[in-house]
Amino acid sequence: MSSEKITLYFKQGSSDKVYKASIEEAGSNSFVVNFAYGRRGATLKTGTKTNTPVDYASAKKIYDKLLKSKTSKGYAPGEEGSQYVHTDADMKDTGVQCQLLNFVDEPKVTQLINDNKWWAQEKHDGKRMLIRKTDTLIAINRKGLEVGAPDTIFNSASQVDQTYLVDGEAVGEKLFAFDLLEINNTDIKPTPYRERLSHLENLGLSGSIVVVETAKTTEEKQQLYERLKASGSEGIVFKKHSAPYTAGRPNSGGNQIKFKFYATASVIVTKKNDKRSVAVAVIDDENQVGVGNVTIPPNKKIPAVDSIIEVRYLYAYKGGNLYQPTYLGVRDDISLEDCLISQLKYKKETE
């Protein structure tokens, strides 16, 4: 039985990564599945998916599952990579890439409020959704895949005469629009945010598509921050009004950043427990690390093993579990690489 190997690439924004996987013979009718990964051109980290050799059929199953996991996160063969690889038969890659935001701590918020280079908006608690209107209407998720959307949103989107690509957050049957990437078949991502926002505000969207409120002065930003915090909103987003729209997530900082009033995390369901709860984990250096259990409310369907769910929590213990986790829902719009341990907010150590 011959061995197999593949090299996959991922390019998006500032990311330029490589992932190698192989089935290698380890003796008579025994095989191991090994991998290596890291930035292109750098020394790769290595590991194995088989702590002990297995037969070829088992190795092939592990290998195929590994490749499916990587391609679902955007890796593809060929040195140029692919912006996103189609994973589901009912989803089509649109080529659109979202700008993704890093988090900031509360002390940074005061600086941003007082800095006139930055504007502020509410961070709505929903799912990322873009709407593109050309001869037809389509909805796009944060992975760049075409998805379904409520009729109410499509009906409102169709009322505008121009062609456009709008970015927003879908909450229930409403879309909260916060950016405009194309208008009248023209790409305006390179233009400053203040110009894109002006085009968005003048586009004529209404009904189930709401253009988010933007606070521009220090006084307006402070009032917005206090109001959102008092009302239990998810958070606040700060945007540099002179900056272009840049796809992907920067390694740190960025021209658009967010602050959450409470912590949330995307976690992987690893087991269904008794009494309507599931065990969950995050990824730490390619390995899954358990972070406790989450109770599923009686009116919610228990999520499947290996699905990704969003939970709200107070804080995480170093090397331990999430404290007071609350189930928010399934996330079918993100990938495993978003479930990293680095997203967790830890309890401050006391002396």
**pLDDT by 10s per residue, the chain, length 351:** 456 888 888 876 667 788 889 898 887 888 899 888 888 777 678 888 988 889 988 999 999 888 888 877 777 776 544 333 333 334 578 899 999 999 888 889 999 999 999 999 999 888 899 999 999 999 999 889 888 888 889 999 999 999 999 999 998 889 999 999 999 999 999 999 999 999 999 999 999 999 999 999 999 999 999 999 888 788 999 999 999 999 998 888 999 999 988 889 999 999 999 889 999 999 998 889 999 999 999 888 899 999 999 999 988 988 889 988 999 999 988 888 889 998 898 876 533
Dist. CA 20–CA 65, nearest whole Å? 14
Q: Is residue 311 within 8 Å of 265, Cβ to Cβ?
A: yes
Q: Are 261 and 228 in contact (CB under 8 A)?
A: yes
Look at residue 78 in the predicted model and tell me its pLDDT. 63
Which CATH number covers residue 128?
3.30.470.30
Q: Are residues 297 and 196 in the same domain?
A: no
Number of compact structural domains in the chain? 3
CATH code at position 302:
2.40.50.140
**Do 243 and 144 fall into the same domain?**
yes
Cα gap 81→142, rounded to integer Å = 18
Domain boundary among 232, 260, 288: 260
Burial per residue of 211-224, b for 16 or more beta-carbon CB atoms within 10 angstroms, e otherwise:
bbebbeeeeebbeb
Q: Are residues 118 and 28 in the same domain?
A: no
Q: State the burial class of residue 349 (Cβ atoms within 10 Å of its Cβ: 0-12, 13-18, 19+).
A: exposed
Q: Which two tokens stand for residue 153?
A: 């949103």
In a domain, residue 276? The reply is yes
Regarding whether 251 and 211 lie in a shared domain, the answer is yes
Same domain, 119 and 145: yes
Residue that finishes a domain, picked among 223, 239, 260: 260
Check: pTM over 0.75? Answer yes or no. no
**Domain annotation covers residue 271:** yes
CATH number of the domain where residue 40 is located:
2.20.140
What does the pLDDT read at residue 346? 85
The answer to whether residues 200 and 152 belong to one domain is: yes
Q: Are residues 225 and 270 in the same domain?
A: no
* Same domain (yes/no): 235, 269: no
Q: Are residues 159 and 125 in the same domain?
A: yes
- pLDDT of 351: 35
Range of the domain at 233: 102-260
Residue 294 resides in a domain: yes
Residues 225 and 269 in one domain: no
- Spatial contact of 17 and 39, defined as CB atoms under 8 Å apart: yes
pLDDT at 158 (0 to 100): 95
Q: Flag whether 106 is in a domain.
A: yes
In a domain, 68, yes or no: yes
144 and 256 part of one domain: yes
